[in-house]
Homo-oligomer: A and B are copies of this chain.
Amino acid sequence: MKEISSLIGFRPDIKVVDATLRDGGLVNDFYFSDEFVRDLYLANIKAGVDYMEMGYKASKEMFDVNKFGKWKFCDEDAIRGIVGDNNTELKLAVMADVGRCDYKKDIIPRSESVIDLVRVATYINQIPAAIDMIEDAAAKGYEVSCNIMAVSNAQEGELKAALELLGQSPVNVFYIVDSYGALYPEQIQRMADVYLNFAEKYGKKVGIHAHNNQQLAFANTIEACGDGVDFLDATYSEMGRGAGNCGMELLLGFLRNPKYCVYPVIRFIEKHMQKLKDEGIVWGYDYQYLMTGRFNQHPRTAIAFTKEKRKDYSEFYKEVIAQE
């Protein structure tokens, strides 16, 4: 049972990371208006959020800049167009995917950038490539996290080997990423235990990025928080791929640190998020995501079901179990 003191008090080490532009960008191809991004930046500052993820550092050789909004690429000028020199307490982050970015060229030295944190996203079988990227970013002066995606599919032995390697790298934070929304809180607790053992051994922090396929993104995030995980990802209105993420409005209501304030989040949601939905941008919990999450599958089939506006849930259920 968790300590009663931690149910009332708070752990100052906790960091809240707003991933709305990055994971939400997967829903609308990163076409956010400047007003949206600027208001989100200001809301995060007022709400006491610790990090704001601006988007991806994606390769312009692999991805057509005319087919995506600018937050897929996060050019330094684009970010500065919103935040200036960012003379605030809010730190800025970008995500860089193994195999989908030109990090040596596109990630400039931190001394020339407003970015603070580079989040390296990797599958467990790409850890050596991730470590190359981690070393590059650390050498350039950044804080670095390693976000191990689809961790619900990793063998415990593999995961431990990965964390052992990462422990010896200059990474600052290991992330639990439940990409498929497949994990239950009791499994998050066990996974956090594995991560925290390596984190303690190597002086690292642990983070969590949850998906809402089974309406557990918030529950899994606060479970991890109670277990000692410090970096907590959330998005406004749960905006994110497929079933979306842990809601910022839920998470800040839970955290007891008086630096956090949910009201600016509510204001932002009221002004911007219903409008996105009215424009036809679709995300969030639905039965098709429950099904892929429950069977620990990538949500791509559920996303296609959603795009096709299908409602034949029982047929989709049969398609999902046919893939088992």
How many copies of the chain does the oligomer comprise?
A: 2
State whether the Cβ of A63 lies closer than 8 Å to any Cβ in chain B: no
Cross-interface CB contact of A1 among B4, B189, B222, B287, cutoff 8 Å: B189
State the CA gap A212–B7 with chains docked (Å). Answer: 20
Given known pairs A184-B222, A185-B185, A254-B184, the reply for A1 and B314 (CB within 8 Å) is no
A76 at the A/B interface (Cβ < 8 Å)?
A: no
Asked if A253 and B294 make an inter-chain contact with CB atoms under 8 angstroms apart, the answer reads yes
Chain B residue contacts of A2, Cβ below 8 A: 186, 189
Provide the residues of chain B in CB contact with A217, threshold 8 Å: 215
**A214 and B218 in contact, given A193-B1, A263-B317, A314-B267 (Cβ under 8 angstroms):** yes
Q: How far is the CA of A187 from the CA of B4 in the complex (A)?
A: 9
How close is A63's CB to chain B, nearest CB, in angstroms?
33
- Contact check, A253 vs B219: say whether CB atoms are below 8 A apart: no
Contact (A253, B186) CB under 8 Å given A313-B270, A317-B263, A317-B266: no
Contact sample, A vs B, 17 pairs, CB 8 Å cutoff: A1-B186, A1-B190, A1-B193, A4-B190, A7-B187, A184-B222, A185-B219, A185-B222, A186-B226, A214-B250, A216-B218, A253-B290, A253-B294, A267-B314, A269-B313, A270-B311, A270-B312
